[in-house]
Every structure is written in structure tokens, then in C-alpha cells.
Amino acid sequence: MATNKRTEVEIAPLEFTPIDQIPRKVATLRESFSQRKTRPIEFRKVVLRKLYWAVEDNKERIAEALSRDLGKHAYEAFMAEIYWMTGDILHIVNNMDKWLKDEAASDIPFMWKSVNPKIRKDPMGTVLIIGPSNYPFQLTMLPLFGAIAAGNTVAIKPSEITPNSSRIIQEIIESTLDPSCYAVVQGGAEETQALLAEKWDKIFFTGSAAVGRIVAKAAAVHLTPVVLELGGLNPAIVTRNANPRLVARRLLWAKSMNAGQTCTAHNYILIEKSILPAVLEEFKKAYKDFYPNGSRDSPDYGRIVTDKAFQRLKGMLDNSQGKIIFGGTLNEKERYIEQTLVQVDSLEDSMIVNEAFGPICAVYPVNDVDEAIQIANKVHDTPLGISVFGSSSDHEKVLEGTRSGNVSLNDAQPHVNTLAFGGVGESGMGQYRGRASVDVFLHHRPYTKTPSWAESLLDLRYPPYTPTKFKWLRLGLGVGTPDFDRDGRKSPWTWLRLLFGGSPKLAASKAMAVAIVLFLVQKYLQRLAKQ
Ligand code: NAD
């Protein structure tokens, strides 16, 4: 098994890309796209296969970079970064023929089938991917794999605050791929804004809502479509019907992995008062199980990514009026923050109104699931994720009463790596992962092919616009018959009207007449059979 033993791995320091080189890099990518270099599907597959081996061959270096940047244990590096990348590449390579094939358009009225409507899967063009710091590899590379499979030329801008990881990403890409098709730009806000000043065919951004707004504004100048994978104030709702042990273990895990620096981890827990003592007891037991000597002395527990992020989390704790009911130990030098629960009695508390993005969490007791739903909607009505622990009817109530990018029922944070994932409202727009990673970088381009024999059908659209043509127009355009009345109610006579036309009464009379004729014919046939 992987360990967290520091190896002799050497990682070169991160160098920012000179800003004056950025326009040239982008122009090269555009030129390669217009030369159709990335169009052949076999080309894309070879690129992905090479990337697979580059990730595989660099796995120890990746784990080491993550250990240096985030104090991540190698186990977590494999669980949530390396195997996500290799698994994703294999999933894409094995399915891309199927996903990229032209598709027959669905739900087309019969009349239009003659023009053979299909959907073609075109690349968007030259796209930009901007990565975050918390899972610096997978959150930058997974979109890249999708963009490659979709046939785009791509620039990626990894996070500058995880310099070792970003350096390895650059090495992997530059040592493996054609630089005229795939480029890495390193840097912070300034370099990113220089990139954003360029025209892109799609921008895929993962990070904070504040920077997401900067990205969306810059994209609007060029009418560039954007995917924004942002954060949010995610609630975990725990009802009296939940299993306290499972609640404790699963919620503690979500706040422990990557020291809680996970966009889908819960920001606050809304818990029914009656179950709080039992969950807290189980939380203590779970902590002891996971970290027998405490998380600070455990190699399994990571650190906060920067001093700035540490101070922000400390500020949230310092400014809270709540009571620490679990944890609370911090070590500034190590950027260590223990998993901490703070019971608060105000929705204005610093622990509720800020995105923690770390191992600290507010606990707010409620009377029932309805109150929890009401509060969750008040705090943030479109978070990235919601966790619900309780009965099936509690789950249904929360699903029905809230909005969010994703939902975990009886678990913390969604983690099926091929399930489409993304925010809604303030937590973002657009989805990726699995097939969605490829789709998000494709233009689904409809096309039709009109046969010459269809000319007589098409006559309906040509002048002169005669009364006879007008009579056939509705049918010719494939407009159906409504199965509802003017009050929006479904009509029980609709099928009769569809079959026989006319008013419901007339249709019913015609149906009756047909039924009588059928009955008589049947009787006649029976009599013949007997003779
Ligand atoms: P961040 O927004 O600070 O940085 C993300 C990227 O934006 C980096 O590449 C950075 O260089 C660039 N950037 C920073 N400031 C900029 C500026 N002023 N102008 C232009 N570019 C700028 O985010 P982070 O700290 O790396 O990640 C934390 C945030 O990301 C949290 O809010 C978290 O919830 C969110 N997040 C969301 C997801 C998701 O999938 N929805 C995943 C991870 C993180």
C-alpha cells in the first residue's frame, strides 16, 4: 500500500508564464484547431492513452507533490486524484467511439423523418480550463480529458497556490503532448486575466464564486460559453430517523478528507435536537476510530493549503458566538486545524454565513425536517451539495423542498466519479465527469439530409400559398392534436378524437358506429365458422 514516506522526488520550482507569451500560445492553439490537427478520433485516443501512461508513470511524483502542497496522505492521493484520473481516461477511451458517433435525432414528428435529422458531435474549438487548488490534479485534468476527447485544442491554467502539483501537471503535459495543440500556462490572477482577455470557444472554470464572476464577465465580452464549477454553503440535514453512527462516520470523513477542503463537503449541519447527543457521542467514537492518537499526529490527515486560508478559517472560529462541542485545536505553524464542530444559535454566525472549505463546521439544532428545509433555503438556496440523513420520506421532503447541484442521501458528498456533476444557481453552471466531461466540450450540431424524392412533400412550403396547401399545412408540419381542453385539463375523449376527429360527441358517435359494425362482423364470422 502507498505510504506517506517522503521520497527523494525532485520537483522543480513553479515558474509563471511570461504574460507577453500568452497571446502567441493561444494563437498557436487556434491555428492547430483550424488545421484540424485534433479532429481525427484516433489522434485524440492516442493523446489520451499517452496521458494515461504519463499519469501512471508519475504517480509517485503526483503523490509527493500533493503531500508537499496539502499534506495529503498518499492513500488520498490515489483515492481522490490518481485513480480518478486513470479511471476517467480509461472510461473515456473505452466509450468515446460510441459517444462521438452521429446520433439519430430523437422525438422527431413522423413527417420530418424523411429528411433524416441527426446530431453531429463537433468540438467547440480552442478552450481554456482554469483549475483550483484543493484537488489540483483531478479538477484540472478531468476537464482536460473531456476536452481532448471532444477534439478541442486546449490551454490549461493550474492553480498557483499548489505549486508542486501544478509543476507536475506541466511536466506531464509538456513531456507527452503536442504543444501546438495542448498548452499549459502557469500563473496567478494576472496571468489568468491575460488568458481571459483572449477569445475562447469555451471556458471551464473551477474555483470560488468571486473569481467565477470575473471569469463570466470576461467571457461575456466574446460571448464565450462558460462552465463554472463553484462552491457554496452546503447543508447536511440530519433527522431523528437517521442512524447516529453512520451520520457521525460519514460526516466526519467528509470533513477529514483533504482536511475538509472539498467543495461538496457540508458547511453546516442542521440536526434535529433529539438526535444531537447521540450523534455527538458517535462523532467522538468515530474520531477515535479514524485517528487513535488524534488527527494532528496522524499521517492520514492533511493540512490547510496556505497561511491565508488558515487565517480565514481561524477568523471564522474566532468571530463565532457559538460553542465548540468537538475539536478546536489549531497549530498555525503546521497549518493544522482539527476537525471542529461549533454549535451556533444564530443564522448570522460567522460559521454559517461563510464557506468554510476546511475541517470546521457549524451545528444548528432544529425541531424537525421542515424547519431544516426552511433554514437551508434561507442560508443559500442553491448550494453545490446537500446531504440528508433520515428516512425515505425525509429524503423526499428535502429533494422536493430544496435546490442544489447534487444530493447525497444517507451519505456525505457525492463521489461517483462517472456521474454528471455540477452546480446550479450560485454554485455554478454546466456539468462534467464521465460522459458529461466530453459532452460539455462538444457542440451538438443538428443536421438534415433531404432526399430528392421528398420534393413532392416539400411542395407544401413553396409559393403559391393556395387554400389547398393551407388545408394540409398543419399535418405537413407534423403538428399533433391536443389531448387537453381550454382549461388545461386532459380530455378522456382525446383518443377518440385522435382516431375519428371532430368534437368529442361526434368522435364518440363515430366510435360507437365502428364498434357496432365490428360486433356485427364478428357475429357474422362466428356464424360462418359454425356452418
Ligand atoms: P480560487 O477561485 O481562488 O482560484 C481558482 C483559480 O482562479 C486559480 O487557478 C487561480 O489562479 C485563479 N484566480 C484566482 N484569483 C483570480 C483573479 N482575481 N482573477 C483571475 N483568476 C484568478 O479557488 P481555490 O481557492 O483554488 O478553490 C477554492 C474554491 O473553489 C472554493 O470556493 C470551492 O468551493 C471551489 N471549488 C469548487 C469545485 C467544484 O467542483 N464546484 C471544486 C473545487 C473547488
CATH no. for residue 294? 3.40.309.10
**Residue nearest to ligand 1 atom 8, measured at CA:** 159
CB atoms within 10 A of CB 348: 8
DSSP character at residue 222: T
Atom of ligand 1 lying closest to residue 211 CA: 2
Residue indicated by cell numbers 484547431: 33
DSSP character at residue 491: P
Q: Within a domain: residue 502?
A: yes
Cis ω before 464 (30° cut-off from 0): yes
Distance of alpha carbon 267 from alpha carbon 361, whole angstroms: 6
Same domain, 210 and 297: no
Same domain, 300 and 349: yes
Same domain, 210 and 250: no
**Residue nearest to ligand 1 atom 19, measured at CA:** 189
Q: Ligand 1 pocket test: which of 135, 263, 306, 415 has the largest number of ligand atoms within 8 Å of its C-beta?
A: 263
Query: What does each C-alpha distance from 467 to 103, 147, 166, 471 come to in angstroms?
Result: 38, 52, 69, 6
Q: Ligand 1 pocket test: which of 69, 133, 310 has the largest number of ligand atoms within 8 Å of its C-beta?
A: 133
**Residue nearest to ligand 1 atom 23, measured at CA:** 207
For the chain, what is the largest distance between any 2 Cα atoms, rounded to a whole number of angstroms? 104
Which of the residues are catalytic? 229, 263
Same domain, 169 and 59: yes
Q: Which helix (H) or strand (E) holds 460?
A: none
Q: Within a domain: residue 378?
A: yes
Same domain, 248 and 180: no
- Give the pLDDT of residue 2: 44
Q: Within a domain: residue 453?
A: no
Amino acid at 16: F
**Residue nearest to ligand 1 atom 14, measured at CA:** 189
Same domain, 293 and 442: no
User: Domains in the chain: how many in total?
Assistant: 3
- Give the pLDDT of residue 481: 83
Atom of ligand 1 lying closest to residue 263 CA: 34
Atom of ligand 1 lying closest to residue 131 CA: 9
Same domain, 61 and 208: yes
CB atoms within 10 A of CB 464: 5
Same domain, 290 and 400: yes
Same domain, 489 and 381: no
**Residue nearest to ligand 1 atom 18, measured at CA:** 189
Distance of alpha carbon 315 from alpha carbon 54, whole angstroms: 41
- Give the pLDDT of residue 502: 66
Same domain, 121 and 158: yes
Q: Are 138 and 434 in contact (CB under 8 A)?
A: no
Distance 130 CA to ligand 1 centre (A): 8
Q: Which residues line ligand 1 (CB under 6 A)?
A: 130-134, 139, 157, 159-160, 188-189, 192-193, 206-208, 211, 214, 229-231, 263, 355, 357, 384, 423, 428
Q: What is the pLDDT along the chain (531 residues), one digit of tens a residue?
A: 444 455 589 999 999 999 999 999 999 999 999 999 999 999 999 999 999 999 999 999 999 999 999 999 999 999 999 999 999 999 999 999 999 999 999 989 888 888 999 999 999 999 999 999 999 999 999 999 999 999 999 999 999 999 999 999 999 999 999 999 999 999 999 999 999 999 999 999 999 999 999 999 999 999 999 999 999 899 999 999 999 999 999 999 999 999 999 999 999 999 999 999 999 999 999 999 999 999 999 999 999 999 999 999 999 999 999 999 999 999 999 999 999 999 999 999 999 999 999 999 999 999 999 999 999 999 999 999 999 999 999 999 999 999 999 999 999 987 788 999 999 999 999 999 999 999 999 999 999 999 999 998 899 999 999 999 999 998 888 888 888 888 998 876 665 665 666 666 776 777 777 888 888 888 888 888 877
Same domain, 121 and 66: yes
Atom of ligand 1 lying closest to residue 132 CA: 26
Distance 176 CA to ligand 1 centre (A): 26
Atom of ligand 1 lying closest to residue 427 CA: 41
Q: Within a domain: residue 222?
A: yes
Please provide the distance, in angstroms rounded to a whole number, between the alpha carbons at the two ends of the chain.
Answer: 86
Distance 220 CA to ligand 1 centre (A): 19
Buried b (16+ CB within 10 A) or exposed e, 235-266: bbbbbbebbbebbbbbbbbbbbbbbbbbbbbb
Q: Classify residue 135 as exposed, middle or buried by CB count within 10 Å of its CB (0-12, 13-18, 19+).
A: buried
Q: Ligand 1 pocket test: which of 190, 193, 206 has the largest number of ligand atoms within 8 Å of its C-beta?
A: 206
- Give the pLDDT of residue 494: 64
Q: Please identify, among 424, 446, 468, the residue that sits at the C-terminal boundary of a domain.
A: 446
Distance of alpha carbon 347 from alpha carbon 379, whole angstroms: 7
Residue among 276, 271, 263, 272 at smallest CA distance from 233: 263
Same domain, 132 and 218: yes
Q: Judging by DSSP bridges, how do beta strands 442-447 and 118-123 pair with one another? A: antiparallel
Residues pairing with 406 in the sheet: 385
Domain coverage including residue 155: 39-104+116-230+435-446
- Give the pLDDT of residue 496: 63
Distance of alpha carbon 118 from alpha carbon 122, whole angstroms: 12
Distance 131 CA to ligand 1 centre (A): 7
